[in-house]
Amino acid sequence: MRILIDECIDQRLRNALPEHDCKTARYAGLAGLENGDLLAAAEKAWFEVFLTVDQGIEYQQNLTTRKLRIIIFRANSNRLKDLLPLVPTCLARIKSLELGKVISIEAPTKI
């Protein structure tokens, strides 16, 4: 799948998704775009999945007509060390996620 990684996520996350065609927003030439424009540009560039840590995106945008799957990482920070533990769940869910749908993947809570 073609995956766009939001610019607020460490670009090295793409190395954890080797079986997918991953690009960061900056590398894809989409850096600096606001959410609505970014999502439209991602669709136009044939991305299928958008990864972000922006927890407000599902409330700020009408996503029902989007041709993207959106995955929101909910971690302690947007640092790579906090996002990497979420990758296995992301990979497991990515294939079954329908277009226009949003899911959140949360870090396990420590006891």
Say whether 22 sits in a helix, a strand or coil: strand
101: nearest Cα among 76, 73, 71, 81: 71
CA distances 31 to 5, 87, 89, 90, 93, Å, are 10, 23, 26, 23, 26
pLDDT of residue 58: 74
pLDDT for 35 equals 79
Q: Would you call 51 helix, strand, or coil by DSSP?
A: strand
Mean pLDDT of 10-19: 93
User: What average pLDDT does the structure give for the chain?
Assistant: 89
pLDDT of residue 86 exceeding 80, the answer is yes
| Model confidence at 105: pLDDT above 90 | yes
Measure the CA–CA gap between 64 and 19, rounded to whole angstroms.
27
Q: Is 73 helix (H, G, I), strand (E, B) or coil?
A: strand
pTM: 0.90
Percent of the chain whose pLDDT exceeds 70: 95
Question: Which one has a higher pLDDT value, 109 or 33?
Answer: 33
- Residue boundaries of the structural domains of the chain: 2-106
Arch. (CATH architecture) of 2-106:
3-Layer(aba) Sandwich (3.40)
User: Does residue 72 surpass a pLDDT of 90?
Assistant: yes
pLDDT, tens digit (0-9, with 9 covering 90-100), for 22-67: 999 999 999 999 878 999 999 999 999 999 998 877 777 767 788 8
